[in-house]
């Protein structure tokens, strides 16, 4: 499943470590928050807002900590003593919180990740950490879906990978068109999940999706 083109791996999974040189100082970041508070029409020096620039910068450090993490490092340690296990591995309902790159509004949802191992497996907590690394960056859901699937495929080299994301986008529910209750679904199927209809149906059945068996709609 490895793409032979030069640079294809890094292109597929995005920046391995997005720590920026020339990153603004904390003082500059807090000053930027003060400017936004002024622009909004409030007084950043009043009691209720006096600590807000510091708290916002602290929150951004948490929200966007994925830029300083390398997803490749997370998947480096694998296990080959599986007694020949080669059936589907599915980790479902991984909750995530991200932010849309267009409005900095929250994206909140769940990720379902499956793969068909080829000789080796990875600890299941590592799959959840991969989700968190990409979620804790400015995102669009389509890109995040592809990044998770491409990274697992590139590093583990399994027989196939499937990723489904279902999320609520606050840029749509709390601003703009104001449509609460709308859930966006995206999927990325690689290897056997794309090429083998039976494998894809098995995955969808385990998620209770239409066309996936008796489970029916979720």
b (16+ CB within 10 A) / e for 96-117: bebbbeeeebbbebebbbbbbb
Q: Among residues 141, 147, 170, 202, which one is catalytic?
A: 141
Q: Among residues 103, 118, 157, 166, which one is catalytic?
A: 103
Is 102 a known active-site residue?
yes
Query: What are the distances in angstroms from CA 163 to CA 60, 72, 211?
Result: 27, 17, 17
Q: Among residues 100, 139, 170, 202, which one is catalytic?
A: 100
Q: Among residues 99, 112, 169, 170, which one is catalytic?
A: 169
What is the side-by-side order of every strand in the sheet holding 160-169?
Answer: 138-139, 89-100, 106-116, 160-169, 184-191
Q: Among residues 97, 118, 157, 171, which one is catalytic?
A: 171
| Pairwise CA distance, residues 112 & 174, whole Å | 26
Is 30 a known active-site residue?
no
Q: Among residues 80, 99, 102, 214, which one is catalytic?
A: 102
| Pairwise CA distance, residues 36 & 45, whole Å | 13
Is 97 a known active-site residue?
no
8 A C-beta contact, residue 207 and residue 193? no
Is 171 a known active-site residue?
yes
**Active-site residue set:** 100-103, 141, 169, 171
């Amino acid at each position: 499943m490895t793409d032979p083109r030069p640079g294809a791996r890094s292109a597929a999974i995005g920046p391995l470590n997005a720590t920026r040189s020339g990153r603004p100082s904390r003082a500059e970041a807090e000053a930027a928050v003060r400017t936004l508070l002024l622009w909004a029409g409030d007084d950043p020096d009043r009691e209720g807002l006096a600590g807000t620039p510091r708290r916002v910068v602290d929150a951004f450090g948490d929200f966007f900590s994925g830029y300083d993490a390398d997803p490749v490092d997370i998947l480096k340690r694998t296990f080959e003593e599986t007694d020949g296990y080669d059936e589907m591995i599915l980790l479902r309902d991984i909750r995530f919180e991200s932010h849309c790159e267009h409005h900095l509004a929250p994206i909140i949802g769940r990720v379902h990740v499956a793969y068909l191992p080829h000789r080796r497996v990875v600890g299941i907590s590592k799959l959840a950490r991969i989700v968190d690394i990409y979620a804790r960056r400015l995102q669009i859901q389509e890109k995040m879906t592809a990044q998770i699937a491409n990274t697992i495929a590139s590093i583990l080299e399994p027989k196939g990978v499937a990723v489904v994301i279902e999320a609520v986008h606050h840029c749509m529910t709390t601003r703009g068109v104001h449509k609460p209750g709308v859930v966006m679904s995206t999927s990325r199927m690689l290897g056997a999940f794309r090429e083998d209809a039976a494998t894809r149906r098995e995955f969808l059945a385990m998620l209770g999706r239409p066309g996936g068996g008796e489970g029916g709609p979720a």
